[in-house]
Amino acid sequence: MKTVKLQLKDLKDNPYHDGNYDKEQIKKLETSIRNLGVLRSFSAFKKGEKTMLVCGHHTREAARNVLGNNAEVTVTIQEYDDDTAVWGMATENLTQVEDEKKKIKDLVAIRKYLKKTFKNYQEFAEFMRKKGVSVVISDKNSKTSKRGRVNEGRPEGFVIGSSRNISEWLNRKGIIMDFQEISELLRIKDNLSPELYDKMVVGNKHPKKGDEEDEELVFNLTNAKMLSSLGDDHEEQQDILKALENSNEERMHRVRTRGKVITKYKELKKAAKTGKLKIKGKEVKLDEEDKKKIEESIQMVREGKKDIGNIELPNVKLPKAVTEITIQEINSELIDGLDKIAREFELYVDKGNLKNSPDRELNKLLIYLHSWGKDKFISFYKKVLEELAKRKLHKAEEMDYDFEKGLKGGY
């Protein structure tokens, strides 16, 4: 590595630079250079007789505009090969920009470079080993890798240009971008319809309503991640986005609510395709009637005939083991709830302390029963609670506890 003085015109583009520039970024750099000059040394490497930039293309353009093409600047010549030069440029781009579309563009460029450079994953792994970085090598004759990690279920990780492959190449000297973000951004590019991709707004350009971002007014990155997770059926993406926007479900425009609904929709799709549904960790086989109901429900959502906010998994006949687990869990919750109410009553009776009035706990339990039992068992459990109240209060009738009033309307 050595430092020299060179004219700006002698700094050539990195061979993997795409020639595109952010005009706004260049204008900001021009302002800084006018006031402070060029504060950095340009990082470059030699390729034949040419001096090529590793990174700093925007700074060079801004300096050209302010100082002229013949201006001399400080350049640090690195002993880089092509791969390190590409890595350096990618690292600078991905760590300095906040625009996810630009990050996607850089990730696509990295994928293109890796596919062009390496024939297979074994060749890539050997190259990385020479760089001093150890990566998992797929063993085609076994379900485990040479490090003993299980490959089954993720063979795509050992393919040149996969998200995992890009993550290994990019993060070889430390975390530049985590694997999940790489996967999500590339999935948007690969799966999302071009129309929605062009519509996607990122950064700080979101319309505002008051002090909070109004997600109903913009197709943002989060929505793009959700829809691209459905697959590459562009018509389906448009249908589901429309279904989300037209839902009558309260707060459907909120990210969390939309995320839950999309997850449930994907579970239904998978169940309709495989004929299997996981409930309480147990796999339930669906009959043809159940599959047909699911397919009809999905189609109605896509056609706008059913509110996606009301989409539910089917009520299928559960295996005995699943039914027993469910009953045990609910029974345990009910017993805990009743015990808690009993303790509240004892405190109320013993101390006459209104702060320990049991009506709050009664209300909580009845709300739980209502959400679980869909009104079918409310009258029965209300009688149970009334009897409990009578038994606990029989020695303190002078307190005149009004059960109905305590329930605040109840059920």
Given the structure tokens 């339930």, which residue do they identify?
A: 284
CATH class of this structure's domain 2-83: alpha beta
* Burial class of residue 207, CB neighbours in 10 A (0-12, 13-18, 19+): exposed
Provide CB contacts within 8 A for 254, sequence distance 6+.
215
* Strands laid side by side in the 72-78 sheet: 2-7, 72-78, 42-47, 50-53, 11-12
Domain assignments of the chain as residue spans, ordered by start: 2-83, 97-191, 229-318, 321-406
pTM flag (> 0.85): no
Q: Dig out the tokens for 289 from the structure.
A: 């009637």
Alpha-carbon distance 248 to 175, whole Å?
42
The 10s digit of each residue's pLDDT in 211-237 is 444 444 467 888 899 999 999 999 999
H-helix or E-strand spanning residue 208: strand 208-209
Query: Model confidence over 363-409: pLDDT tens digits?
Result: 666 665 555 554 555 566 666 666 655 555 444 443 344 444 444 44
The per-residue pLDDT for 219 is 77
State the residue for tokens 């590595």.
Answer: 1
Backbone torsion region of residue 37, taken as left when φ is above 0, otherwise alpha when ψ lies between -120 and 50, otherwise beta: left
Average pLDDT over residues 168-184: 93
Between these two residues, 82 and 365, which has the higher pLDDT value? 82
Burial of 288 (0-12, 13-18, 19+ CB in 10 A): exposed
Tens digits of residue pLDDT in 8-44: 999 999 887 878 888 888 999 999 999 999 988 999 9
What string of DSSP letters covers 365-401?
A: HHHHHHHHHTTSSHHHHHHHHHHHHHHHHGGGGGG--
Measured CA to CA, the distance from residue 54 to residue 38 in angstroms comes to 17
